[in-house]
Structure 1
Amino acid sequence: MSDRTRGHSYDDDDLTLEDEIVARARIHARTVVQGEAYDLPVDRSALEWTTSARARRRAGACRWDPDREVATIVLSRRAYERYDWPEFAEVVRHELVHAWEFQQFGDSGHGPRFRERAERVDAPRHCRAFADPRYVLRCLEGDCDWRAERHRASQPVKAPDRYRCGACGGSYEVEHVESGHTWTTAGGYGGARAMLGNDW
C-alpha cells in the first residue's frame, strides 16, 4: 500500500482503484487470519500487498523474499474488475495460504499441505483464469473429452504431433480460438499463423 493509504490523511477523490483493491483485500485478510470463520496463522507484519495492471491470466500471486522473510501478495486489477467480490475474496484467501506456507516453510506450491489448508479457509486450489484462452487443445479420440487451454504458443501448441492427450494418450488438435483455425502438426501451426498474418 502506498504511504498515503497507510494512515495518512487523504480525500476520497485521491483514492485509486489500486487503493480500493488493496484496502478490501487487507480487510478481508484480517477476517481470514483472525476471524471466527477462519484461523490462518499468517504474520501480517511480514506481509505486503500490491496490484498489477499488467497481469492477463493470473488473478493473484504470492512472492517470497527470503532475505527479508516477507511475502508480497500481488492482486490483478483486471481480475478485480471482472470477478464479483466473493470470487475475488477466494483469490485473496488462496494467496494468503501461499503466504502462510512461505512464512512457515520457506516454500509454497499446490500440493497436499496447500490443499488441506486451502480447504480450511474455503479457498480454491487453483484460481480461475480471468482471460479467455488464446488456444484450446482437444483430444481427437471419440470417447475422450480431454481439453486444455493455453494463453501462449507453447511447444504443445506449436507442435501437437510431438505430444499426446493428457488423459488417454491419443492425438489432439489445437484451435486458435479467435479465428477458429485448427491444426494437428507443426506445419499446420506454421500454415495457420502465415494465413492469419496480422490477425494472429
Structure 2
Amino acid sequence: MTDGEQLTIDDEIIARARIHAREVVAGTNLTLDLSALEWDVSARAKRRAGLCRWRADCEEATIVLARRAYERYEWPEFAGVVRHELVHAWEYQQFGESGHGPRFRERAADLNAPRHCRSFSEPRYVLRCLGSDCEWAAKRHQASKPVRAPDGYRCGVCGGEYEVEHVESGRTWSSASGYGGVKAALGDEW
C-alpha cells in the first residue's frame, strides 16, 4: 500500500477472512491449501453470505463473501460463514466437487461451521398460501416466474393457490395480470 491509499471495507473483510482461515487450518486437521485459495467480496449479494467457486482447470477455489452480511452480522457469525466456505474449498481441493451432503456436514460440525446462514436482508416479495389451514410461505428477492405468474404454481405444502406480496407496499396479487397491475400502479416505487 502506498502513501495516501486507504483500506476499504472489502480489504478489511478479506484480511479478516484470511487471518481466520489460517487460524482454522492451523488449529484443526483441515488439509486445505490456502495458497490455492482466492478471496473476493460481493457488493451485490442479497441472499448468500458467501459462496465458493471452483475452477477445475487450474484447481483453484475462490471464496466470495457478501459485504452486506459482513456489515449486518457480528464477527462470530460471519466467521462461521468463512468456515462454511472453507469446508467447500476443502471438498473441492480434495474431491473436485462440493455440496451439503454427509461429508460436508461432518466436516462443518468439526469446524463449528453452520450449514445455513441467517438471512441478512429483507425479501422483496413473500409468497403465502391462501389455504385456510396452511401456513406455507416463501421469501423471494427477485421477480422470478412464481412471483410474476403465481397462477401457474401451487403451494409447496398443500398444493393450494397462493398470493404474492410486494413487501414494501403491502400490495398483493395471485395472477400474472395482477403482478402487472401492481407493478404499473407502483411505478417508480416498484
TM-score by length of 2: 0.91
Q: Cα–Cα, structure 1 residues 119 and 146, in superposed 2: closer, same or farther, change >3 Å?
A: farther
- Report the Cα distance in structure 2 between the residues aligned to 1:12 and 1:102, rounded to whole angstroms: 39
Amino acid at match of 1:107: E
Amino acid at match of 1:84: E
> Which stretches of structure 1, 4 residues or longer, exceed 3 Å deviation after superposition?
10-14
- Report the Cα distance in structure 1 between the residues aligned to 2:102 and 2:134, rounded to whole angstroms: 28
Write the deviation string for residues 104-123 of structure 1: whole angstroms up to 9, x where unpaired. 12122223332232222222
Report what 1:7 is aligned to. Answer: none
Report what 1:150 is aligned to. Answer: 140
- Report the Cα distance in structure 2 between the residues aligned to 1:54 and 1:197, rounded to whole angstroms: 23
Write the deviation string for residues 25-81 of structure 1: whole angstroms up to 9, x where unpaired. 11111222221xx43222212111122223233221111111111111111222111
SS in structure 2 at match of 1:168: coil
Alignment coverage as a number of residue pairs: 190
- Report the Cα distance in structure 1 between the residues aligned to 2:117 and 2:97, rounded to whole angstroms: 19
Report what 1:27 is aligned to. Answer: 19
- Report the Cα distance in structure 2 between the residues aligned to 1:113 and 1:143, rounded to whole angstroms: 38
Q: Structure 1 residue 14 and structure 2 residue 40: aligned?
A: no
- Report the Cα distance in structure 1 between the residues aligned to 2:162 and 2:30, rounded to whole angstroms: 42
Report what 1:68 is aligned to. Answer: 58
TM-score by length of 1: 0.87
Report what 2:116 is aligned to. Answer: 126
RMSD across aligned positions (CA): 1.9
Report what 1:108 is aligned to. Answer: 98
- Report the Cα distance in structure 1 between the residues aligned to 2:29 and 2:95, rounded to whole angstroms: 18
Question: Identity across aligned pairs (percent)?
Answer: 71
Amino acid at match of 1:18: D
Counterparts in 2 of 1:70-85, with a 5 A limit? 70-85=60-75
Tell which deviates more after alignment, 158-167 or 115-124.
Answer: 115-124
- Report the Cα distance in structure 2 between the residues aligned to 1:98 and 1:143, rounded to whole angstroms: 39
- Report the Cα distance in structure 2 between the residues aligned to 1:151 and 1:188, rounded to whole angstroms: 18
Amino acid at match of 1:26: R
SS in structure 2 at match of 1:14: coil
SS in structure 2 at match of 1:61: strand
Residue 12 of structure 1, CA deviation: 10
Unaligned runs of 5+ in 1: 5-9
Report what 1:165 is aligned to. Answer: 155
SS in structure 2 at match of 1:141: coil
Amino acid at match of 1:131: S
